[in-house]
Amino acid sequence: MPLLNKIISHTIQQLKLIFHRNMRLFRFIVLLISLMYLNYGSHAQDVWSLQRCIEYARSHNIQIKQQVLQKRLSELQLRQSRLSQFPTVNAGADYGYNYGRSIDPTTNQFVGSQLSSAGLNMNAGITLFSWFQKRNTIAANQYADQAAREILENMEDNISLNIANAYLQILQTEEQEEVSVQQISLTQQQLDNTTKQVEAGALPESNEADLEAQLARDSATYITNKNNVTFAILQMKTLLNLDFRTTFIPEKPDLAKIPILNIAVLTPEEIYQSAVAKQPQILSDSLQVLSAEKQVAASKGALYPSLSFGAGLGTNYSSNYRRPVGETTIAIPPSPIGSVDVNGTNYTVNSLPQQITNPKFEQPKLSRQISDNLRENLGLSLNIPLFNGLQTRAQIEQSKINLENQRLVHEQDLLTLKQDIYQAYANAKASLENYVAAQKTLKSSQTAFYYAQQRYNVGLINSLDYVTSQNSLFQAQNDLISKHYDYIFKMKILEFYKNLNITL
């Protein structure tokens, strides 16, 4: 709010000089600026602290969202490997209509008539022993899932560090913008005083021209600094995946109260040892090595026999199927079949009475056929790998190479971490020295400008010398702001490596 008040005040002063003959236009512009001021005030409560930015990014940053999806994939892979221990159960059904010579599935005999048939089946199987392939695969996926969680945390930590940098960048550019406003105000005041002295004949017109040129340069500097603020806020919104139309007002902490580690009591080796035990990237590498070791064990299990158990259930239906349901008996009475002559007497010979039994068939209903044709099976299967084109051997070698690669990745990440920490420590020490030097420079520049101002007011130096001294002062102010925030961020990097925490 103080910055905006200064800008509005300065703008109104300029408008008075430019538009003093056109009061209507002046009133319109003042009204417009006032409305902008009120709109700014309506959003003043929506303040973003660093912690709020970090928490918002954890659920909205695109890179974090992508890593969350990768974590879900690793969870699904682990779940799938665990469920592979359970039996597999499958069911099937078929229906067909046959013409010509075909096999009746219910009798397994050839028939020459049209035939419609159907079948139902269900099969189940389970691996009883496969030389611990599944157990090792599950263990490998467990380690991989834990590694994915560490990778997600590492992504969140890196985004948090980037957000802290962007946050401090916003605060820095806003302070530099305020300095440029102060510079404009000071130059304007000096220009007003010089103009009066020129009109009174006490100073040459060149002094006024020099200050007018300086005021133009100060205005250009203000525009640049204001654009830097806008760009820094856009960078923050990009990290947060925040709508660019959303108002973003950072909370401005008291820089003197920001907790900063004492670099004098820190050593890079101490920070490194602390980081090795906490850094998610290093923990992820260790878990990836363990996962690769289990993958080697799982691939070796394919060299040995495996034992499986299976069971099945099925039935069939046929339109030609006939089921015996009883018998039909036909009685044949005696009938003459001839005659014989015995001692002159003719006798008729009758056949013996007979009974003919014929089987009786019917086409059973579908439900009855399913019951009648039901079949079941149980079995054990032993698979002994003898030769498969050395594919198993190749897979084992690939898993071993992957293991060695994961070990090298772990070793490289440890080396990179150590290098980064030692470099960050050196940068922090240098930034502290630069900050102390900038404080001394500002103090000297303030003293020099004070005397330059006094000498200019009594005509002992010209306007160019005065402007040069003023520019040196504001350059020292900007440099101190830059060095101060750079020092804070460099120390926060060390704090991040040591504690995995960033606070302002």
Interacting residues of 384 by C-beta distance below 8 A, sequence separation 6+: 305
Q: Which residue has the higher pLDDT, 466 or 359?
A: 466
| Residues 482 and 439 sit within 8 Å (Cβ to Cβ) | no
On whether both 160 and 113 belong to a single domain, the answer is no
Q: Range with the lowest mean pLDDT among 26-30, 141-145, 237-241?
A: 26-30
On whether both 276 and 321 belong to a single domain, the answer is no
Return the number of other C-beta atoms located less than 10 Å from residue 387's C-beta. 7
Single-letter code of the amino acid located at 398: Q
Residue 45 confidence (pLDDT): 53
Residue 358 confidence (pLDDT): 76
Flag whether 504 is in a domain: no
CA 225 distance to own-chain centroid: 34
Domain span at 2: 1-45
Residue 293 scores a pLDDT above 80: yes
On whether both 212 and 298 belong to a single domain, the answer is yes
Of 364, 383, 402, the domain-final residue? 383
> In sequence order, what DSSP letters do the residues of 83-151 get, joined into one string?
HTTSPEEEEEEEEEEE-SSEEETTTTEEE-S-EEEEEEEEEEEEEEESTTHHHHHHHHHHHHHHHHHHH
Residue 367 confidence (pLDDT): 80
On whether both 486 and 446 belong to a single domain, the answer is yes
Q: What is the pLDDT of residues 361-381, one digit of tens each?
A: 777 887 888 888 899 999 999
Flag whether 345 is in a domain: no
**Band of residue 32 on the pLDDT scale cut at 50, 70, 90:** very low
Count of the separate structural domains present in the chain: 3
- CATH classification at residue 245: 1.20.1600.10
On whether both 296 and 313 belong to a single domain, the answer is no
On whether both 158 and 226 belong to a single domain, the answer is yes
Q: Three-state SS for 330?
A: strand
On whether both 362 and 425 belong to a single domain, the answer is no
On whether both 297 and 311 belong to a single domain, the answer is no
On whether both 228 and 156 belong to a single domain, the answer is yes
Q: What is the pLDDT of residues 297-316, one digit of tens each?
A: 999 999 999 999 999 999 98
* Residue 354 phi, psi (nearest 5): -130, 155
**Band of residue 30 on the pLDDT scale cut at 50, 70, 90:** very low
The residue to which tokens 């974090």 are assigned: 64
Q: What is the pLDDT of residues 252-261, one digit of tens each?
A: 999 888 889 8
Flag whether 431 is in a domain: yes
On whether both 54 and 160 belong to a single domain, the answer is yes
Flag whether 454 is in a domain: yes
Flag whether 341 is in a domain: no
On whether both 278 and 379 belong to a single domain, the answer is no
Mean pLDDT of 395-403: 96
